[in-house]
Amino acid sequence: MSVNKIGPYRLGKTLGVGSFSKVKMAVHEPTNKKVAIKILNRKKLNTMDMGQKVRREINILRLFMHAHIIRLYEVIDTPTDIFVVMEYVSGGELFDYIVSRGRLGEAEARRFFQQIISGVEYCHSHMVVHRDLKPENLLLDETNNVKIADFGLSNMMRDGFFLKTSCGSPNYAAPEVISGSLYAGPEVDVWSCGVILFALLCGSLPFDDENIPNLFRKIREGAFVLPSYLSDGARDLIPKMLVVDPVKRITIDGIRKHPWFMANLPRYLKVSPMQEIARSKQIDEDALAAVIEMGWPRESILQALAMGPDLLTNSHVPHNEELRPMSVAYHLMLDHKRKIELDDEIENAIPSPASAFLRDRVKFQQPSPVSVMSQVSSIPPTPVSQTGSPMARIQFDRHRRIWLLGIQTKLEPAKIMAEIFRCLRAMNMQWKMLAPYKLKTMMMPSSESTPLKDVKLGVQLYKNWSSGYVIDLQKISGQAFPFMDMYIYHVSGLRRCSSRLRTDPRSACRMVPVQADMSHSGPATGDASARSPAGQDQMDTRSELLLVKAQLLAMSRMHDEQKVANRALREEILVLRSAVRGAELGTIASNGESNS
Q: Is 474 helix (H, G, I), strand (E, B) or coil?
A: strand
Question: Given this model, what pLDDT does residue 567 score?
Answer: 56
Counting Cα atoms < 13 Å in the Cβ hemisphere of 220 gives 11
Question: Given this model, what pLDDT does residue 501 score?
Answer: 52
Q: Is 142 helix (H, G, I), strand (E, B) or coil?
A: coil
Cα 67-132-341 angle, rounded to 5 deg: 10
112 contacts: CB under 8 Å, gap ≥ 6: 94, 104, 138, 146, 200
Domains, the chain, in order of start with CATH, read: 91-282 (1.10.510.10), 407-513 (3.30.310.80)
Question: Given this model, what pLDDT does residue 557 score?
Answer: 57
Chain-centre distance for alpha carbon 72:
23
Catalytic residues: 132
Spatial strand order in the sheet of 21-28: 5-6, 9-17, 21-28, 33-41, 81-87, 72-77
Distance between CA 575 and CA 579 in Å, rounded?
6
100 contacts: CB under 8 Å, gap ≥ 6: none
**pLDDT, average across residues 505-517:** 36
User: 382 pLDDT exceeds 60?
Assistant: no
Question: Given this model, what pLDDT does residue 66 score?
Answer: 92
Question: Given this model, what pLDDT does residue 394 score?
Answer: 32
User: 327 pLDDT exceeds 60?
Assistant: yes
Q: Is the dihedral of CA 519, 524, 530, 535 positive or negative?
A: negative
Three-class secondary structure assignment of 389-415: CHHHHHHHHHHHCCCCCCEEECCCHHH
User: 520 pLDDT exceeds 50?
Assistant: no
More confident residue, 551 or 186: 186
Q: Kindly state the helix (H) or strand (E) to which residue 22 belongs, with its residue range.
A: strand 21-28
Cα 419-423-425 angle, rounded to 5 deg: 115
Q: Is 297 helix (H, G, I), strand (E, B) or coil?
A: coil
Question: Given this model, what pLDDT does residue 517 score?
Answer: 35
| 8 Å CB contact between 555 and 576 | yes
Question: Given this model, what pLDDT does residue 553 score?
Answer: 59
| 8 Å CB contact between 554 and 417 | yes
Q: Which of 403, 582, 415 is nearest to 496 (CA)?
A: 415
Provide the β-strand partners of residue 74: 85
More confident residue, 192 or 588: 192
| 8 Å CB contact between 512 and 538 | no
User: 113 pLDDT exceeds 80?
Assistant: yes
136 contacts: CB under 8 Å, gap ≥ 6: 93, 94, 95, 169
More confident residue, 301 or 506: 301
One-letter amino acid for residue 361 of the chain: R
Q: Is 510 helix (H, G, I), strand (E, B) or coil?
A: coil
Question: Given this model, what pLDDT does residue 184 score?
Answer: 56
State pLDDT tens for residues 548-565: 555 555 555 555 555 444
Question: Given this model, what pLDDT does residue 526 score?
Answer: 38
Is 38 marked as a binding-site residue?
Answer: yes
Q: Kindly state the helix (H) or strand (E) to which residue 233 belongs, with its residue range.
A: helix 232-241
| 8 Å CB contact between 133 and 118 | no
34 contacts: CB under 8 Å, gap ≥ 6: 25, 26, 27, 28, 88
Three-class secondary structure assignment of 86-118: EECCCCCEHHHHHHHHCCCCHHHHHHHHHHHHH
Counting Cα atoms < 13 Å in the Cβ hemisphere of 338 gives 19
Q: Is the dihedral of CA 215, 216, 217, 219 positive or negative?
A: positive
State pLDDT tens for residues 349-378: 655 444 444 444 434 443 333 333 333 333
**Helices vs. strands in the chain: H and E counts, helices first:** 24, 15
364 contacts: CB under 8 Å, gap ≥ 6: 231, 232, 233, 236, 259
Q: Kindly state the helix (H) or strand (E) to which residue 291 belongs, with its residue range.
A: helix 285-292
State pLDDT tens for residues 235-292: 999 999 999 988 899 999 999 999 999 999 999 999 888 888 888 888 999 999 999 9
State pLDDT tens for residues 77-86: 888 999 999 9
Question: Given this model, what pLDDT does residue 345 score?
Answer: 77
442 backbone dihedrals φ, ψ, rounded to 5°: -155, 170
Q: Is the entire prediction scored with pTM above 0.85? A: no
State pLDDT tens for residues 400-448: 344 455 677 778 888 888 888 888 888 778 888 887 788 888 888 776 6
18 contacts: CB under 8 Å, gap ≥ 6: none
More confident residue, 488 or 129: 129
With bands split at pLDDT 50, 70 and 90, how would you rate the model's confidence at 155? Answer: very low
Q: Is 166 helix (H, G, I), strand (E, B) or coil?
A: coil
Buried b (16+ CB within 10 A) or exposed e, 219-228: beeeebebee
User: 159 pLDDT exceeds 60?
Assistant: no
35 contacts: CB under 8 Å, gap ≥ 6: 9, 25, 26, 27, 28, 73, 85, 86, 87, 88, 332
> For the chain, what is the mean pLDDT?
74
**pLDDT, average across residues 70-91:** 92
Distance between CA 264 and CA 257 in Å, rounded?
13
With bands split at pLDDT 50, 70 and 90, how would you rate the model's confidence at 313? Answer: confident
Query: For the ranges 20-29, 155-164, 335-344, 457-466, which has the lowest average pLDDT?
Result: 155-164
| 8 Å CB contact between 119 and 68 | yes
More confident residue, 136 or 526: 136
Question: Given this model, what pLDDT does residue 410 score?
Answer: 78
